[in-house]
């Protein structure tokens, strides 16, 4: 009888140990994978997906233990079910040393993990020199650009006229392809997508704002915004969303105005409402403040910041205006096709 009790105890201990080990392993594997991902500074493999690469770990993921319900080892080898309390594994067994190492690791974590929605590697864009097409003469507008654009940020590309801002923005937004180099947008290598796929991507996931406001002149502010929702294939709730976006940009009372009845700054706001309406992951704005006075330009940039905060969108804008640089969460400066 006593021997049998001892045997049963032994079995329980073995089960608990097994459950503990597996949970620790699961935690370590998870932590290991995250660490590998965190350490992947350089893209270059298909497997590295821009949207997934993290500079830090997701909070609480490191050393994560399987919940008790999913913990292996609920049954003994002979199938005998153990009382839940005996096999429930909330914390794997860790030595004091391990705990201290984890505490230190935790202290090193950035408070908010940074995810990158876009990453580029050595992007080069060459154009044939005028009159030398076919003769091998070419001009490099971009000379090896490697950058990262954090998700849900306002990123500014700044540089003088001719430095390559528009050329770079066109490549980031799948309007153009690099001559060489890689561009990951979320999990796609967009430098290699077919034209049809790039059109689809732009329509569904991206939004655009240009320097010269390109509203459809015979459509009201509301109709301009609603139209882009239709183009993106949105079936339901177009009216509500169009109205919501116009309110978001402070034009709730101008919905039925025609473009020519609005100021340049107001028209740009309609263009911004239109760019954000279909909930793109990212909005590209090429010199959106180029034709606005400095106060209106600042209000547009502040509006971008609000959109980042309220809509969770990422915005990449170009400007040559030094006074707007402070508004960016991240600023890249271009000079003669290089980042400086």
Ligand X SMILES: Nc1ncnc2c1ncn2[C@@H]1O[C@H](COP(=O)(O)OP(=O)(O)OP(=O)(O)O)[C@@H](O)[C@H]1O
Cβ-based nearer residue to ligand X, 212 or 263: 212
Cβ-based nearer residue to ligand X, 320 or 338: 320
Cβ-based nearer residue to ligand X, 307 or 317: 317
CB of 287 to Mg ion, least distance (A): 6
Question: Out of ligand X, Mg ion, none, which partner does residue 159 contact, by CB within 5 to 8 A per kind?
Answer: ligand X
The set of residues, in sequence order, having a beta carbon less than 8 Å from that of 83 and lying 6+ positions away, is none
Q: Is 193 exposed, middle or buried (0-12, 13-18, 19+ CB in 10 A)?
A: middle
Cα 2 to Cα 69: distance, rounded to the nearest angstrom: 32
Question: Out of ligand X, Mg ion, none, which partner does residue 39 contact, by CB within 5 to 8 A per kind?
Answer: none
Question: Out of ligand X, Mg ion, none, which partner does residue 320 contact, by CB within 5 to 8 A per kind?
Answer: ligand X
- Please choose, from the candidates 234, 306, 303, 219, the residue with its C-alpha nearest in 3D space to the C-alpha of residue 268: 303
Question: Which DSSP string do the residues of 34-48 spell out, in sequence order?
Answer: HHHHHH--S--STT-
Question: Should residue 166 be labelled a site residue for Mg ion when binding is judged by CB under 5 A?
Answer: yes
Q: What is the DSSP letter of 309?
A: H
Going by DSSP bridges, is the β-strand pair 148-150/282-286 parallel, antiparallel, or unpaired? unpaired
Question: Out of ligand X, Mg ion, none, which partner does residue 32 contact, by CB within 5 to 8 A per kind?
Answer: none
Cβ-based nearer residue to Mg ion, 115 or 165: 165
Cβ-based nearer residue to ligand X, 11 or 320: 320
Please, are residues 294 and 267 in contact by the beta-carbon 8 Å criterion? no
CB of 320 to Mg ion, least distance (A): 8
Cα 23 to Cα 68: distance, rounded to the nearest angstrom: 9
Cα 65 to Cα 25: distance, rounded to the nearest angstrom: 9
User: Which part of the chain contacts ligand X (CB under 6 A), choosing from 164-172, 230-238, 240-248, 265-273?
Assistant: 164-172
User: What residues make contact with ligand X under the rule CB under 6 A?
Assistant: 127, 139, 141, 159, 161-167, 320
């Amino acid at each position: 009888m006593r021997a049998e009790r001892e045997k049963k105890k032994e079995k329980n201990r073995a089960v608990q140990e097994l459950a503990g080990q597996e949970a620790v392993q699961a935690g370590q594997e998870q932590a290991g994978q995250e660490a590998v991902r965190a350490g992947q500074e350089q893209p270059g493999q298909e497997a590295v997906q821009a949207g997934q690469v993290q500079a830090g770990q997701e909070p609480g993921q490191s050393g994560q233990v399987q919940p008790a319900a999913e913990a292996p080892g609920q049954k003994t080898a002979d199938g005998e079910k153990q009382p839940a309390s005996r096999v429930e594994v909330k914390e794997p067994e860790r030595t004091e040393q391990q705990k201290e190492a984890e505490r230190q690791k935790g202290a090193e974590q950035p408070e908010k993990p940074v995810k990158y929605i876009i990453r580029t590697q050595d992007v080069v864009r060459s154009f044939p020199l005028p009159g030398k097409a076919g003769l091998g003469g070419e001009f490099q507008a971009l000379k090896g650009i490697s950058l990262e654009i954090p998700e849900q940020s306002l990123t500014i590309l700044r540089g003088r006229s001719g430095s390559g801002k528009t050329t770079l923005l066109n490549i980031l937004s799948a309007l153009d392809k690099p001559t060489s180099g890689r561009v990951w947008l979320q999990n796609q290598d967009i430098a290699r997508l077919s034209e049809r796929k790039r059109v689809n991507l732009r329509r569904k996931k991206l939004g655009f704002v240009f320097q010269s406001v390109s509203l459809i002149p015979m459509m009201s502010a509301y109709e301009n915004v609603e139209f882009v929702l239709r183009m993106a294939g949105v079936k339901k709730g177009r009216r509500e969303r169009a109205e919501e976006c116009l309110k978001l940009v402070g034009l709730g009372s101008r919905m039925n105005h025609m473009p020519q009845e609005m100021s340049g700054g107001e028209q740009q706001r309609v263009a911004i409402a239109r760019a954000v309406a279909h909930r793109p992951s990212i909005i590209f704005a090429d010199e959106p403040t180029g034709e606005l006075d400095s106060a209106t330009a600042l209000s547009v940039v502040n509006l971008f910041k609000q959109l980042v905060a309220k809509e969770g969108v990422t915005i990449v804008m170009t400007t040559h205006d030094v006074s707007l640089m402070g508004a960016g969460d991240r600023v890249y400066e271009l000079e003669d096709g290089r980042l400086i």
